[in-house]
Amino acid sequence: MGAIRLEQVTKSFGEAVVIPRVDLEIADGEFVVFVGPSGCGKSTLLRLIAGLEDVSGGRVVIDGAEATRTPPAQRGLAMVFQSYALYPHMSVYKNIAFPLKMARNEPAAIDRKVRAAAQTLNLTQYLDYKPGQLSGGQRQRVAIGRAIVREPKAFLFDEPLSNLDAALRVNMRLEITELHQSLKTTMIYVTHDQVEAMTMADRIVVLRAGNVEQVGSPIELYRAPRNLFVAGFIGSPQMNLIQGAEAQKRGAETIGVRPEHIRASHHAGGLGRQRRHRRAPRIGYHSARIGRRRRDGKGEGGRGVRAPPRPEGLSDAGSDQDPSLQCQREDDPMTSSAS
């Protein structure tokens, strides 16, 4: 129903190459999240799929049919915008009815579908309101309503939650996930928020500078990031990337240790065995600084190591003991020779 394939898709605006080359396959019914720092081309990629931008090269295939030159209206996709993009001069009812009207549905069918969508999204009592009279969360629901009445092959979400406050965002995240479970329609979701990506996605596509850095399930990306960028980007608090002697000992330029795999200890051991640590630990909510900074600032502990809050067996402050790292999972630290 809603399989989407990108074949060697490229996009440039004038001289600026935004998407050097992307190959991607999205299966029917999948919830795929595009994630990456701002300016990484994730929104552009979504707009290429939507047809709002023309590809500079390559093919877009929707449901096995060539759609590269198909105008957005005929691709059978629905999009939810970051700004909601509701029609301000139309009531909620007319907003939701608009795509059906454009598809020349019967008035009776339009009415039935609009009311059903409003019911699902708890909007029934707001049908006569104008978008300007609604709160952010309600507007977002209207935007989703406008998308679902079309029964599209796939939903495209362009950072739909970034204009909402934190509490509402968590709720809407859940609602969208539930919507996906009940509709079982393909969803492509763009966000810069990796927590959203990790909690919602079946599969995550990590993008940087228009390149796909890695594609995989959240747990794959977390456990086995393919390169330093993915390792640093996925996971909160961030993974510790340690260079220097410890890394070389394991035959790598950089090793990564997840903060939750670090335990501060009073006893020497683990990674810090050969070193003398003079500084007392400074334990913040998310980070503990362990080790000493070398003059040139390149010491292995110099960058600060993130560890879970309040490591066991360590008092808050004032301890002069030598804490050191202990790697809980020495079998599985991520190693990488890339930089």
Q: Is 45 in the site for other proteins (CB under 8 A)?
A: no
Structure token digits, residue 287:
């980070």
Q: Is 145 in the site for other proteins (CB under 8 A)?
A: no
Q: Is 86 in the site for other proteins (CB under 8 A)?
A: yes
Q: Looking at 113, 141, 146, 203, which residue binds other proteins (CB under 8 A)?
A: 146
Q: Looking at 102, 116, 245, 338, which residue binds other proteins (CB under 8 A)?
A: 102
| Binding span for other proteins by CB under 8 A among 66-74, 107-115, 186-194, 271-279 | 66-74
Q: Looking at 3, 52, 183, 209, which residue binds other proteins (CB under 8 A)?
A: 52
Q: What is the largest CA-CA distance in the chain?
A: 79
How far apart are the C-alpha atoms of 64 and 60, rounded to whole Å?
9
Q: How far is the CB of 140 from other proteins (least distance, A)?
A: 13
Q: How far is the CB of 147 from other proteins (least distance, A)?
A: 8
| Binding span for other proteins by CB under 8 A among 73-81, 161-169, 223-231, 277-285 | 73-81
Structure token digits, residue 337:
């020779």
| Binding span for other proteins by CB under 8 A among 31-39, 72-80, 300-308, 330-338 | 72-80
Q: How many residues bind other proteins (CB under 8 A)?
A: 24
How far apart are the C-alpha atoms of 129 and 337, rounded to whole Å?
58
Sheet of 305-306, strands arranged across = 282-283, 287-289, 305-306
**Cα torsion at 201, 204, 208, 152 (round to 10°)?**
-70
For residue 325, the one-letter residue type is L
Q: How far is the CB of 129 from other proteins (least distance, A)?
A: 17
Q: Looking at 33, 50, 161, 212, which residue binds other proteins (CB under 8 A)?
A: 50
Residues contacting 160, CB < 8 A, separation 6+: 80, 81, 82, 140, 143, 144, 172, 176, 189
Spatial contact of 77 and 65, defined as CB atoms under 8 Å apart: no
Which residues bind to other proteins, rule: CB under 8 A?
Answer: 14, 50, 52, 71-74, 77-79, 81-83, 85-89, 98-99, 102-103, 146, 150
